[in-house]
Amino acid sequence: MECIITVDVLRRSGVHVDLAGVSGKGGTKCSRGVVVLPDIELSEAKGPFDAIILPGGLGGSKAFCESKALGEMLKEQEPPTALRTHCVGFGKNLTSYPSVESQVMDGGNYTYKEDEVVVDGSLITSRGPGTAFKFALTLVEHLVGVEKAKEVARGMLTSY
């Protein structure tokens, strides 16, 4: 859900999005059986990037943590468990899904917040499915501007 909502909202705002598969171009089955097909393989993704977005979900987080190539990309850019695994963004404020808070905070390298969306410089994190629209619109604000975020929100019959 977090992936689809974020990609959809960004594309509505005119942001070019390459949906990259960590383990190839094959579909990724999400926790509720939804299959997401990436546009490209991670190895085809060439920066610099305006953003690298790692959607939530336990399976996705595990794949992100295991990907050395993604770790290198993140170190160049600056997401909660994958950030810690790859030693990225230490000292920053962030949030995550409540059940992974202890994993994220293992080592005390971050300041944990329970806000729906946390922005600390270029690092933007969110709590879960219920905050996906707010997260995506926050990304739009940072990439395109607050007026575009408000315009896209109005078009989706929500507020920002």
pTM: 0.87
What is the widest separation between alpha-carbon atoms in the chain? 42
What backbone phi and psi angles, to 5 degrees, belong to 93?
-85, 140
What backbone phi and psi angles, to 5 degrees, belong to 126?
-145, 170
The pLDDT, as a whole number, for residue 58 is 66
Find, among 151, 159, 154, the residue nearest to 14 by Cα: 151
Find, among 119, 130, 80, 117, the residue nearest to 101 by Cα: 80
Find, among 62, 78, 51, 73, the residue nearest to 23 by Cα: 62
The pLDDT, as a whole number, for residue 129 is 93
The pLDDT, as a whole number, for residue 26 is 79
The pLDDT, as a whole number, for residue 79 is 54
Torsion of CA 54, 79, 23, 128, to 10 degrees: -50
Q: Are 30 and 56 in contact (CB under 8 A)?
A: no
The pLDDT, as a whole number, for residue 76 is 73
Find, among 116, 113, 146, 143, the residue nearest to 53 by Cα: 143
Could you state, in chain order, the average pLDDT of each consecutive group of 10 residues for the chain (160 residues)?
94 96 81 88 87 80 84 71 71 92 88 96 92 98 98 97
Using alpha carbons only, what angle is made at residue 5 by residues 7 and 149, rounded to the nearest 5 degrees?
75
The domains found in the chain, sorted by start residue, are 2-155 (3.40.50.880)
Alpha helices, H only, 17-145: 58-66, 68-77, 80-85, 101-105, 132-143
Residues 34, 113: Cα–Cα separation, whole Å = 30
Q: Are 10 and 140 in contact (CB under 8 A)?
A: yes
The pLDDT, as a whole number, for residue 71 is 83
